[in-house]
Amino acid sequence: MGMLCLGFVSWGSMPGSNFINTNKYTYGKSKNGTAIVDIARKEIGVRESAHNSGKRISEYLNYVGFKQAAPWCAGFVSWCHKEIGLAEPRSAWSPALFPLSRMARDGLPGMVIGIYFPSLGRIGHVGLIERVQGSLIFSIEGNTNVAGSREGDAVMRKIRHKRAIAKYADWL
Protein backbone atom coordinates (compact mmCIF):
# COMPACT_ATOMS: atom_id res chain seq x y z
CA MET A 1 0.00 0.00 0.00
CA GLY A 2 1.25 3.52 -0.81
CA MET A 3 2.25 5.97 1.86
CA LEU A 4 0.55 9.35 2.25
CA CYS A 5 2.81 12.20 3.25
CA LEU A 6 1.44 15.54 4.29
CA GLY A 7 3.80 18.39 4.97
CA PHE A 8 4.34 22.10 4.89
CA VAL A 9 6.97 23.82 2.83
CA SER A 10 7.77 27.49 3.36
CA TRP A 11 8.59 29.33 0.14
CA GLY A 12 11.35 31.15 1.97
CA SER A 13 13.04 27.89 2.94
CA MET A 14 12.99 26.14 -0.45
CA PRO A 15 16.40 25.76 -2.09
CA GLY A 16 16.70 28.27 -4.90
CA SER A 17 13.73 30.26 -3.64
CA ASN A 18 13.59 33.89 -4.73
CA PHE A 19 11.63 34.92 -1.67
CA ILE A 20 12.41 35.56 1.96
CA ASN A 21 10.11 34.68 4.80
CA THR A 22 8.00 37.69 5.74
CA ASN A 23 6.39 36.02 8.77
CA LYS A 24 8.67 37.90 11.16
CA TYR A 25 6.36 40.89 10.84
CA THR A 26 3.13 41.60 12.58
CA TYR A 27 1.63 43.57 9.73
CA GLY A 28 2.46 47.21 10.33
CA LYS A 29 3.89 46.58 13.81
CA SER A 30 7.56 46.02 12.96
CA LYS A 31 9.64 48.50 14.96
CA ASN A 32 11.80 49.36 11.94
CA GLY A 33 8.79 49.30 9.59
CA THR A 34 7.01 51.85 11.74
CA ALA A 35 10.15 53.97 12.12
CA ILE A 36 10.93 54.17 8.41
CA VAL A 37 7.32 54.99 7.55
CA ASP A 38 7.41 57.79 10.13
CA ILE A 39 10.60 59.20 8.55
CA ALA A 40 9.15 58.99 5.02
CA ARG A 41 5.88 60.67 6.10
CA LYS A 42 7.85 63.68 7.37
CA GLU A 43 9.34 64.10 3.90
CA ILE A 44 5.98 64.26 2.06
CA GLY A 45 5.82 67.60 0.31
CA VAL A 46 9.57 67.99 -0.28
CA ARG A 47 9.87 69.43 -3.79
CA GLU A 48 12.61 70.03 -6.29
CA SER A 49 13.74 73.62 -6.82
CA ALA A 50 15.00 72.69 -10.30
CA HIS A 51 15.05 69.42 -12.26
CA ASN A 52 16.33 66.65 -9.91
CA SER A 53 17.82 69.17 -7.51
CA GLY A 54 17.13 71.21 -4.44
CA LYS A 55 18.41 71.39 -0.86
CA ARG A 56 16.68 68.27 0.45
CA ILE A 57 17.06 66.33 -2.83
CA SER A 58 20.80 67.01 -2.63
CA GLU A 59 20.83 65.39 0.83
CA TYR A 60 19.21 62.23 -0.58
CA LEU A 61 21.63 62.16 -3.52
CA ASN A 62 24.73 62.98 -1.45
CA TYR A 63 23.98 60.01 0.80
CA VAL A 64 24.28 57.67 -2.20
CA GLY A 65 27.40 59.40 -3.55
CA PHE A 66 25.95 61.81 -6.11
CA LYS A 67 27.16 65.40 -6.01
CA GLN A 68 25.03 66.63 -8.92
CA ALA A 69 21.40 66.44 -10.01
CA ALA A 70 20.18 62.93 -10.89
CA PRO A 71 17.03 60.81 -10.57
CA TRP A 72 16.54 60.40 -6.83
CA CYS A 73 13.78 57.91 -5.91
CA ALA A 74 16.30 55.23 -4.83
CA GLY A 75 18.39 57.87 -3.06
CA PHE A 76 15.30 58.89 -1.10
CA VAL A 77 14.56 55.28 -0.09
CA SER A 78 18.21 54.72 0.89
CA TRP A 79 18.29 57.96 2.89
CA CYS A 80 15.16 56.90 4.82
CA HIS A 81 16.90 53.66 5.80
CA LYS A 82 19.93 55.64 6.98
CA GLU A 83 17.69 57.83 9.13
CA ILE A 84 16.56 54.79 11.15
CA GLY A 85 20.15 53.60 11.59
CA LEU A 86 20.49 51.07 8.75
CA ALA A 87 23.56 51.17 6.52
CA GLU A 88 21.77 49.53 3.59
CA PRO A 89 20.42 49.93 1.03
CA ARG A 90 22.68 52.68 -0.22
CA SER A 91 22.22 53.11 -3.94
CA ALA A 92 20.80 55.55 -6.47
CA TRP A 93 20.17 52.67 -8.91
CA SER A 94 16.60 51.39 -8.49
CA PRO A 95 17.30 47.79 -9.61
CA ALA A 96 20.05 47.50 -6.97
CA LEU A 97 17.41 47.64 -4.22
CA PHE A 98 16.12 44.18 -5.23
CA PRO A 99 18.85 41.57 -4.73
CA LEU A 100 17.56 38.00 -4.37
CA SER A 101 18.57 37.96 -0.70
CA ARG A 102 16.12 40.80 0.03
CA MET A 103 13.18 39.75 -2.14
CA ALA A 104 9.76 39.16 -0.60
CA ARG A 105 6.65 37.72 -2.19
CA ASP A 106 4.28 40.21 -0.57
CA GLY A 107 4.60 43.73 0.76
CA LEU A 108 4.39 44.99 4.31
CA PRO A 109 4.78 48.50 5.80
CA GLY A 110 8.34 49.74 5.51
CA MET A 111 9.29 47.46 2.62
CA VAL A 112 10.56 48.75 -0.71
CA ILE A 113 8.40 48.47 -3.83
CA GLY A 114 9.70 48.35 -7.38
CA ILE A 115 7.79 49.56 -10.42
CA TYR A 116 8.76 47.95 -13.72
CA PHE A 117 9.01 50.10 -16.85
CA PRO A 118 8.79 48.12 -20.10
CA SER A 119 10.49 50.96 -21.99
CA LEU A 120 13.54 50.50 -19.76
CA GLY A 121 13.28 46.72 -19.44
CA ARG A 122 13.86 46.99 -15.68
CA ILE A 123 12.69 48.39 -12.37
CA GLY A 124 12.71 52.12 -12.99
CA HIS A 125 11.10 53.55 -9.85
CA VAL A 126 10.96 52.69 -6.15
CA GLY A 127 9.11 53.73 -3.02
CA LEU A 128 8.32 52.65 0.53
CA ILE A 129 5.12 50.92 1.59
CA GLU A 130 3.18 53.02 4.07
CA ARG A 131 0.34 50.53 4.45
CA VAL A 132 -1.47 47.75 2.66
CA GLN A 133 -5.24 47.68 2.36
CA GLY A 134 -6.61 44.70 0.47
CA SER A 135 -5.24 44.86 -3.06
CA LEU A 136 -3.98 48.44 -2.65
CA ILE A 137 -0.51 49.58 -1.67
CA PHE A 138 -0.25 53.01 -0.09
CA SER A 139 3.32 54.15 -0.67
CA ILE A 140 5.57 57.13 -0.11
CA GLU A 141 7.79 57.84 -3.11
CA GLY A 142 10.43 60.38 -4.03
CA ASN A 143 10.90 61.86 -7.51
CA THR A 144 7.28 61.29 -8.47
CA ASN A 145 4.21 63.35 -9.31
CA VAL A 146 0.42 63.03 -9.36
CA ALA A 147 0.59 60.81 -12.47
CA GLY A 148 3.07 58.45 -10.76
CA SER A 149 5.98 59.35 -13.01
CA ARG A 150 9.52 58.21 -12.29
CA GLU A 151 10.67 61.70 -13.23
CA GLY A 152 8.43 63.75 -10.97
CA ASP A 153 9.42 66.57 -8.69
CA ALA A 154 8.31 65.70 -5.16
CA VAL A 155 7.98 63.23 -2.30
CA MET A 156 4.37 62.13 -2.45
CA ARG A 157 1.93 59.56 -1.12
CA LYS A 158 0.76 57.24 -3.91
CA ILE A 159 -1.90 54.53 -4.10
CA ARG A 160 -1.03 51.65 -6.39
CA HIS A 161 -2.75 48.34 -7.08
CA LYS A 162 -0.66 45.31 -6.11
CA ARG A 163 -0.64 44.30 -9.80
CA ALA A 164 1.38 47.44 -10.53
CA ILE A 165 4.17 46.37 -8.15
CA ALA A 166 6.83 44.27 -9.87
CA LYS A 167 8.95 43.49 -6.79
CA TYR A 168 9.07 43.83 -3.03
CA ALA A 169 12.29 44.04 -1.01
CA ASP A 170 12.80 43.74 2.72
CA TRP A 171 15.76 45.78 3.99
CA LEU A 172 14.46 45.91 7.56
19 within a domain of the structure (yes/no): no
Q: What is the pTM of this model?
A: 0.83
Give the number of other CB atoms < 10 A from CB of residue 1.
3
Residue 111 falls inside a structural domain: yes
Radius of gyration of the chain (CA): 17
Supply the range of the domain harboring residue 161.
Answer: 26-169
What total number of domains does the chain contain? 1
- CATH number of 62's domain: 3.90.1720.10
The answer to whether 113 touches 126, Cβ cutoff 8 Å, is yes
What percentage of residues in the chain have a pLDDT greater than 70?
83
The residue with greater pLDDT, 65 or 23, is 65
- The verdict on residue 67 lying in a domain is yes
- Residue 6's pLDDT band, with cuts at 50, 70 and 90, is very low
pLDDT digits (tens, 9 = 90+) for 122-148: 999 999 999 999 999 999 999 999 987
Query: Does residue 76 sit within a domain?
Result: yes
30-87 residue pLDDT tens: 678 899 999 999 999 999 999 999 999 999 999 999 999 999 999 999 999 999 999 9
Give domain status of residue 142, yes or no: yes
Does the residue 44 lie in any domain?
A: yes
Does 165 reside within a domain?
yes
User: Would you say residue 121 lies in a domain?
Assistant: yes
Q: Is 75 exposed, middle or buried (0-12, 13-18, 19+ CB in 10 A)?
A: buried
